[in-house]
Chain A
Amino acid sequence: MNEDMNRKTRNFILNCLALAALVAFLLWAPGNLDRYKLRIINLIAINAILGLSLNLIYGMTGMFSLGHAGFMAIGAYVSSLLILTAEQKTSMWILEPIAPWLLNLHAPFLVSLIAAGLAAAFFGWLIALPVLRLGGDYLGIATLGFAEILRILIVNLTPLTNGSLGLKGIPAHTDIWMSYGCLVAVLIFMIRLMNGNFGNVLRAVRDDEIAARTMGIDTFRTRVLAFTIGSFGGGLGGALMGNLITAIDPKMFMIAQTYSLLMIVVVGGLGSITGSVIGSVLITTMLEWLRIVEDPITIGSLHIPGIPGMRMVIFSMLLIAVIIFRREGIMGTREFSWDWFFPKKTKQRPISERPVSDTKGADAG
């Protein structure tokens, strides 16, 4: 028991240190990095949030969803519409006038973030009720269809969304404090969720539906719940993204957006929280770095024109390679643990209190 306590204290201290390091980095970064790098650092956090929420749906609960771009779109639009001022809105809607009730609707940024998540969660719940009765690939197509329907609605419902022109001049509320604050909150949420018994239940639903039902689990309700929570994350990420880029339009939320999230989750490891964070760092930086191949390069008198599309060619080849040669991604279903850095003294059991009579754990050392 003492051993267990020590380990807990140690891990708590290490967690605090890691958090302090993150805070130190966030204090240092704005003064020392240029805007482009800061933007990438922001994107890493936002993509991690999005990856985690997709991973909850797909990796942890086993629902193959291709609708995440749709939830992002809902989040981005809801948040932006709440933040933009009435003057901005009037000047932006040129094709058709904005819906009157929407014109003066206004909320502070944080409220708009929560509203964005809730709106996405509501739509997630709404779509989950019919489509989660389907299994496997049908679910993928149905959710993909849902995201497309949503995009078509955004293009056509001009009084609400300004149609294909999109929204511009969204205040850049997303700074690194905001994005990493949200990421830490989402991480704590995910870790607590997946380490609790409910996390076991989600994995059970993923691994064997029939056995899960026999164990008294209402698998349909559980799926709907996980899907709804995941949609909330999608909306939150979309809202942060909109406030980072400051302009949104329906084209941003095409299927390609979902594919890059899928890539993050698959490369990191389906079902691993750590994996999604690592995946986000890798994929986000790689996608930015690959922009080189699309930009024209001039070396001396030699002018190499950029190749549009090449970035995505390399990206998709990588996705195929990962799935063929390393299906489980970087982490598989494993999670990061501080124990990695410490030699195992005793065989630890993850139970809070072992019977006093049980001394085997201590003997084994």
Chain B
Amino acid sequence: MSLNMFIQHFINALGLGSLYGLIAIGYTMVYGILRLINFAHGDIFMLGAYFVYFATIHFKLPWGVGVVLAIAGATLCGLLVDRIAYRPLRSAPRISALISAIGVSFFLENLATVVFTGMPRAVVQPPWLMHPIPVRGIRLIPLGLMVPVISFLLVAGLLWIVYRTKPGLGMRAISFDIETTRLMGVSVDKIIALTFALGSALAALAGIMWALRYPRVEPFMGVFPGVKAFIAAVFGGVGSIPGAMIGGLALGFVEIMSIAFFPTLSGYKDAFAFVLLIVILLVRPTGLMGEKLEEKI
């Protein structure tokens, strides 16, 4: 493999990895405070991509406006999911919320099939994002460079919110003990809603960029990125935001590089993440940056 090829793959992996990371953050934040795998997260990602598609193709809005509207729309959907399907189950056994999450995910996927039809659709690609810039024999696509940069800025912003603001303090408190936090007079439901909103916004953004990469949207596009991003979150240590980003990047590199070096494995691409998951869980169930939770006897 030539150096140029390697750099090309490297940038590619960085882009894919940061998208996984962006989705993984939503999983990790919700899991961190509610101990719930939000199966619907991957579908919020899908909705984000679809909303841009509709804004630009059907309503002929400028791309930038479409993105803003899509993020707002997906955030609203995330809030609704929490309000309708999860909040009534806060005091129920955790497994009930998990089944509800599966139901919501299934619902959103099929609703998208009903509303948008199952046909994959091509999305609008703003030329300034997609036009390759040749640099010493390497074709750099602005989108490919933008994705990691935006992701890292967002992670920094998120860390600031979680560690430097009052709602962030609330989030951290809930992750320790939701009942005590409630007793302290913190509006737990609002903080949880904020968590869902932040996570959904990031997922929608990831969905939009994902759709630009491939460039199409379809109702089940969120399933695999969603599950893989969860695996990335587990890899990084569930509950840790930097961990989610690192996990996402690691997964991106594993997927891109193994196919780059062993092209015959390309049929098994989607299996890597799961193999990785089983290995992590065996070797270090708490992930890279996670903490061990022990049951009190």
Contact = CB atoms under 8 A, between A and B. Distances in A.
Q: Is the pairing of A and B real? A: yes
A interface, over-half SS: helix
B274 A149 contact: yes
B85 A324 contact: yes
Contacts of B85: 320, 324
A316 B219 CA distance: 15
A308 B275 contact: no
A152 interface: yes
Contact of A155 (B35, B110, B219, B267): B267
Max chain A Cβ within 10 angstroms of own Cβ: one of B109, B110, B111, B231: B110
A324 B98 CA distance: 11
B95 A141 contact: no
B295 A323 contact: no
A136 B164 CA distance: 32
Given A152-B271, A319-B99, A138 B114 contact: no
A210 B296 CA distance: 10
A320 B40 CA distance: 12
Nearest to B92: A327
Nearest to B267: A156
Contacts of A37: none
A130 B268 contact: no
Contact of A309 (B113, B267, B270): B113
A138 B234 contact: yes
A25 B113 CA distance: 40
Interface string A104-146: 0000000000000000000000000011011011101110111
Interface string B75-104: 000000000110011001111101110111
B168 interface: no
Contact of B117 (A152, A153, A308, A327): A308
Contact of B110 (A131, A137, A153, A312): A312
A312 B297 contact: no
B270 A308 contact: no
A327 B281 CA distance: 30
A283 to B, nearest CB: 13
A183 interface: no
B282 interface: yes
A297 interface: no
A316 B107 contact: yes
A319 B103 contact: yes
Contacts of B96: 323, 327
A311 B110 CA distance: 8
A145 B274 contact: yes
B196 interface: no
A277 to B, nearest CB: 20
Contact of B107 (A255, A308, A313, A327): A313
B102 A259 contact: yes
B interface, over-half SS: helix
Interface in A70-85: none
Interface in A297-348: 307-313, 315-317, 319-320, 323-324, 327
A310 B275 CA distance: 34
A148 interface: yes
B106 to A, nearest CB: 4
A312 B106 contact: yes
Contacts of B100: 319-320, 323-324
B104 A320 contact: yes
Interface in A160-218: 210
A64 interface: yes
Interface in B185-235: 219, 223, 227, 230-231, 234
Contacts of B234: 138, 141
B107 A138 contact: no
Interface in B23-67: 35-37
B114 A134 contact: no
Contacts of B120: none
B278 A316 contact: no
B89 A142 contact: no
A262 B103 CA distance: 10
A136 B285 CA distance: 13
**Considering the complex of A and B, which 4 residue pairs feature the smallest CB-CB distances, nearest first?**
A145-B274, A309-B113, A316-B107, A312-B110
Interface of B: 35-37, 84-85, 88-89, 92-96, 98-100, 102-104, 106-107, 109-114, 117-118, 219, 223, 227, 230-231, 234, 267-268, 270-271, 273-275, 277-278, 281-282, 285, 295, 297
22 contacts: A130-B278, A133-B285, A134-B281, A136-B94, A137-B98, A138-B234, A145-B274, A152-B270, A153-B268, A156-B268, A307-B114, A308-B114, A308-B117, A309-B112, A309-B113, A309-B114, A312-B110, A316-B106, A319-B99, A319-B102, A320-B103, A324-B88
Given A313-B114, A319-B99, 11 more contacts: A64-B95, A137-B94, A141-B230, A141-B234, A145-B227, A145-B274, A153-B271, A308-B114, A308-B118, A320-B84, A327-B92
